[in-house]
A and B are shown apart, each in its own frame.
Chain A
Amino acid sequence: MKGGLNALKEKSRFLSRKTHGFGMTIGGHAGAALLIYVIGGGLSSMASAQVSSQRLLDSAKEPQNWLMYSGNYAGHRYSTLDQIKTSNAGLLVPKWAYQTMAGGKFETTPLVVEGVLYATGADDRAFALDARSGRPIWQYQRALPPDIRPCCGRVNRGLAILGDKVFLGTLDAHVIALDTKTGNVAWDVNTVGGSDYNRGYSITLAPLVVKNLVLIGVSGGEYGIRGFVDAYDAATGARKWRFYTVPAPGEPGHETWEGDSWKIGGAPAWITGTYDPATNTTFWTTGNPSPSNRGEGRAGDNLYSNSLLALDPDTGKLKWHFQFTKHDEHDYDATQVPVLVDDGDRHLIVQANRNGFFYVIDRASGKLLSATPYGRVTWSNSKDASGVPIERKEASPTLAGVPVCPGAIGATNWMSPTYDPQTKLFYVSAREQCDIFSTAPQPYEAGHAFYGSAYFPNDDAQPFWGAVRAIDPTTSQIKWEMKHLSPSWSGVLSTAGELVFTGDAEGNFMALDAATGKILWHFQCGASVYASPMTYAIDGQQYVAIAAGSTLFAFGLP
C-alpha cells in the first residue's frame, strides 16, 4: 500500500516537473494536481510529493515552492516568481495571518511544499499550515528543560525538509525530525550528550539538507563552547561527521590559540550554510572566539572563528578556510549566509560581513579577491599582504571603553541578504551603529555568560539608523540605498518581479523597486521584523510571507 502511494507521489513529482517544462512560472502545481486527481481516481488533489535531494538541487524548476532556508543552495533568497511586480506591488493586501502566541523574537523563514507551509516559532515551536489560508495542519512544541542557555532570545530560524520529514534544531542542542503530515517526532538526537546544553550549546539555525544528510551548526559563542558543524543521516538521525570549528592539539590551526583557550574557544556556526553541487562543497560561516570582546588569554588568530569554511559534505573534511576577522575583539561574527555568485566565468562567494567589509572570495580556492567597506568602519585602517583588513591597535577594547564602528551588533547581522541574478545586485540590510567597547574581565565558568566585555552606545552619537544597500559584486560599489529610520533586523528577498522585499524595526513590511530602492508598497505589521521574507505560489497566486511579532503574514494581489 505504501508502495502504491509512493508511486503516485513519484508520479506527481514527475508531472509537476513536466508541467514546468512547458514554461509555466506559477500555477504549474495546479496542473499537476488536476492530473493527479484524474490518475488517482479521486484521491486527494493535494497529495504532497516527497522532497527528494534531487528536487533540492533543482529548486529553480519549482519556484512555487520554497524548499530551503535561503530558497536555493546558492543562498540567493531570490525567486523567479513574477506575478507581483513593480507595476502592481502597490496593490498588495494581506491574505492571511497566523499567530504563534509566542513571545520574543520571531525569526523564522517558512518552507512551502505543494501548498503546505512549514515554519518554526519561539521556544522551539514548529507548525504546518495550509499555505493558502494559514489554517494549521499540525503544531509541535518541544518541552524544553529549564536550564537551557540560549543567547539572545529563545528563537529559531526555520526548518529543512527531505522526504517525509522536516528537521528542527532545538534550544537544548538536539536535532529532531518531524513527520511532515503529523508533526510527530520521527527521531531525536542530542548533539552534545547528557545535559551539556547547559554549558551553553543551543541550535537556532535552520538546518541545511545536502544529499541524505542534515547539516547543522551550533550556537553558544557567549558561553565559551567549542563550536562545530555536524551532519546527520536524514533517515535515522545517526551522526555521519562532525567538524570542530576550533582545532584540537595536533590539528592544523591549533597553534592559533594560546594555552588551553581553544577548549572554550567559541566559533559557533549559527547561520545556515550554502552548497555548491558543481564542486560538492558546502560553505559554513562561524562566529566570534570566546570571550567575545576580550583578546587577553587567547593570543593568536583563533582559527576558525569568524571564518568561512569550505567543507566536503560527505565527510566534513575541510577543503579551505578564509578568516574575515583575526583575533576578534568586537563580536564580529561572520555568520551571514555565504552567497554563491557567478560573475561571468568567475565563481565567487560574496559576504557583507558584520565587521563592515564586503568580501569577494574565489569559490574554488578561498582566496580573497577584494574587501571593501559598505558602511562606517573604524576598527581597521589597514590590510595585510593578502588584502585582509586587520585590526587597528587603538580599537582594542579597554577598561575605560573605546568607541569603535561598527558596534557590537555589526554593520549587518544574521538577517539574510539576497542576490538577484536579473539585476546582478546583492542587497543587504545594513546597520549604522557605533559602540563604546569596554572590557570586563571574568573567569570562565561553564554555562555562564562569558563576554569579557561590555558595550554601550555612545551618548553623543547621532541616533542609530539603517539602510537596505544594493551592492554590485563586480565593483563592490553601492548602487543605491534606502534608509531606515532605525537599524533593521529584517532580511531581504528579491524576485523576478523586479522587487526587493524587506521589513523595518518600526514594524513596516515593504516592497522596493530593485533597480532604484524606491518604496512601492508598505504594510504596518504591528511589531518589529526580525526575520527574512520568502515567497511561494499556489494555483497561480503568488504570496510573500514575513514573520513579525508573534504573527506570520502572507501577502498577495487582491
Chain B
Amino acid sequence: MRQSSVSAPVPRKQTTAACWFPILMCWTLLVGAALGCPLFAQEKNPYAGDAKIAKVGEYQFRLNCAFCHGLGARGGGRGPDLTRAKRHGSSDAEIFHNIHDGIAGTAMPAATNGGIGVGMSDQEIWQVVTYIRSVEVKSPTRPAGNAAHGKELFNGAAGCSTCHMIAGKGGRLGPDLTTVGASRSTEYLVESMRTPSRRLAQGIFEAMKEFPQEYESVSVVTADGAKLSGVVLNEDQFTLQMLDTREQLHLFEKDKLRSLEKRRESAMPAYDQKTLSDKDLQDLIAYLQSIGGQ
C-alpha cells in the first residue's frame, strides 16, 4: 500500500523524534536484554566489518536510501555521494544518528517510524551503516586538478561566481555551491557543467516542494508590457516567484501576466570543451571538492 513512502511531506518532527528515541531505546534495551539479542541502541556498530550483513544492508539501502543516494551509494541528483567523506559525521554512531533522526536543515529525513516510509528498525539502520562502510572509498584519490587554479577560474575567466555563490560570495541565480563538492559525485558535477540542462536540480518532496527550487528558466511579459527573464524560485497554479537575470525578485499572479513561458532548461550555458578545457574542468572540480568537504 505504499502511499507515498518517499514523496510524502516528511513530517519534520524534531520534537517527536526526540521524544520517541529514548522510549525506543529503553524498549530495545529491555527486549534486547531479555532475548539476549545484540543491543542496537548503542554507539558501536554490532555488525562492523561483517560482509554478509553489508550485503543485507545493501538491500536495505536500495529500499530506503537509493531513491536519493543512488544505487551503489554514489549519490544522484538528490542526495550526496556516500562513498566519500561525509559532511555530517563519519563515525558509525554519527551515521546511525543521521539516518535515525535525519539531519536538520537538509532534506535528509528521519528514517524511523513517523519519519519516512515504513520506518527502519535500529537493526536495519546498522545494516545500512555496515553497507556504507563497505563501499566507502578508503583513501580517496586527490582530485587530479589544481584547486587553486579552479578557484581563479570560478571567480574569474569561467564566470561561475556571476551566478553561483560559495561561502557567501557570488551570484544568486544559480544554486549555492558551497557544499556541492561533498554532496554530488564527480560525474554529476561534470554533467552539470557540460550539459546543465540534462538534469535540473531535483526536489525530493512534492509537498510544498519542500526542497523546491529546480532552477527552471522563465520568461514573462507583464501587464504593462515589460519583458523579464530569469529563474523560477517557486510557483503554484496561481502565482510565480522569480529572480530576473539582474537578481531582482518578482512576485506575480499568473492571471495578471500577459504571457508566461517556462522552460525546463537551465539558464546556465553549456560549458563545452571550447569554453572550458578538460583540464580547467578538472581544476574547477578540484576546487569544489576541496571546499565542499570542509
Contact = CB atoms under 8 A, between A and B. Distances in A.
Contact of A335 (B1, B23, B60): B1
Interface string B98-133: 000000000000000110011111001000000000
B236 A151 contact: no
SS class, residues of chain B in contact with chain A: loop
Interface string A147-190: 11111111000000000000000000000000000000000000
Contact of B59 (A292, A335, A442, A524): A442
Interface in A535-553: none
Contacts of A506: 208-209, 235-237
B277 interface: no
Interface stretch (B4-12, B150-158, B178-186, B282-290): B4-12
A441 B209 contact: no
A442 B63 contact: yes
Contacts of B11: 103-105, 122, 153-154
A448 B121 contact: yes
A152 B121 CA distance: 15
A464 B206 contact: yes
A23 interface: no
A146 interface: yes
B7 A409 contact: yes
A113 to B, nearest CB: 29
Contact of A152 (B56, B77, B117): B117
A71 interface: no
A146 B12 CA distance: 18
Interface string A287-303: 11000100000000000
B228 to A, nearest CB: 20
A487 interface: yes
A440 interface: yes
B1 A451 contact: no
B3 interface: yes
B6 to A, nearest CB: 8
Given A149-B113, A152-B118, A219 B1 contact: yes
B208 A104 contact: no
B63 A528 contact: no
Contact of B113 (A148, A401, A413, A440): A148
B113 A152 contact: no
B236 A524 contact: yes
Contacts of A451: 2, 63
Nearest to B16: A103
B63 A152 contact: no
Contacts of B71: 401, 438
Nearest to A489: B4
B237 A146 contact: no
A115 interface: no
B199 interface: yes
A528 B118 contact: no
Interface residues on B, range: 35 or more
B149 interface: no
Contacts of B23: 146
Contact of B9 (A221, A457, A527): A527
A30 interface: no
B59 A152 contact: no
B63 A146 contact: no
A449 B238 contact: no
Contacts of A484: 237
Nearest to B121: A448
B62 interface: yes
B235 A409 contact: no
Given A103-B16, A438-B71, A454-B62, A449 B118 contact: yes
A441 to B, nearest CB: 7
A292 B2 contact: yes
B118 A222 contact: yes
A358 interface: no
B1 A270 contact: yes
B237 A522 contact: yes
A456 B202 CA distance: 12
B8 to A, nearest CB: 6
A223 interface: yes
Contacts of B199: 459-460
Nearest to B22: A146
A472 B11 CA distance: 37
B197 to A, nearest CB: 12
Contacts of A408: 2
A146 to B, nearest CB: 5
A223 B118 contact: yes
A367 B215 CA distance: 50
Given A149-B119, A409-B7, A506-B208, A462 B1 contact: no
A150 B206 CA distance: 21
B38 to A, nearest CB: 15
Interface string A185-228: 00000000000000000000000000000000001111100000
Interface in A380-412: 401, 408-409
Contacts of B8: 105, 152-153
B264 A462 contact: yes
B206 A528 contact: yes
A556 interface: no
Nearest to A222: B118
A504 B124 contact: no
Nearest to B68: A456
Given A105-B8, A147-B27, A527-B207, A485 B113 contact: no
A519 B199 CA distance: 32
A104 B116 CA distance: 10
Contact of A505 (B13, B206, B238): B206
B18 to A, nearest CB: 12
B280 interface: no
Interface in A463-507: 463-464, 484-487, 489, 504-507
A73 B3 CA distance: 24
A448 B64 CA distance: 12
A454 B71 CA distance: 10
Contact of B3 (A151, A154, A441, A519): A151
A333 B5 CA distance: 14
Interface in A408-443: 408-409, 413-414, 438, 440-442
A508 interface: yes
A184 to B, nearest CB: 26
A440 B62 contact: yes
B2 A331 contact: yes
B24 interface: yes
Interface string B190-231: 000000001100100011110000100000000000000000
B66 interface: yes
Given A151-B117, A507-B236, A287 B1 contact: yes
A439 B121 CA distance: 21
7 contacts: A105-B4, A146-B24, A152-B8, A154-B113, A220-B1, A524-B238, A528-B207
The 7 closest A-B pairs by CB, nearest first: A506-B236, A104-B11, A528-B207, A440-B62, A103-B11, A103-B13, A152-B3
Interface of B: 1-5, 7-9, 11-13, 16, 20, 23-24, 27, 56, 59-60, 62-64, 66-67, 71, 76-77, 113-114, 117-121, 124, 198-199, 202, 206-209, 214, 235-238, 264
Given A152-B118, A222-B1, A270-B1, 4 more contacts: A288-B1, A413-B4, A485-B235, A506-B236
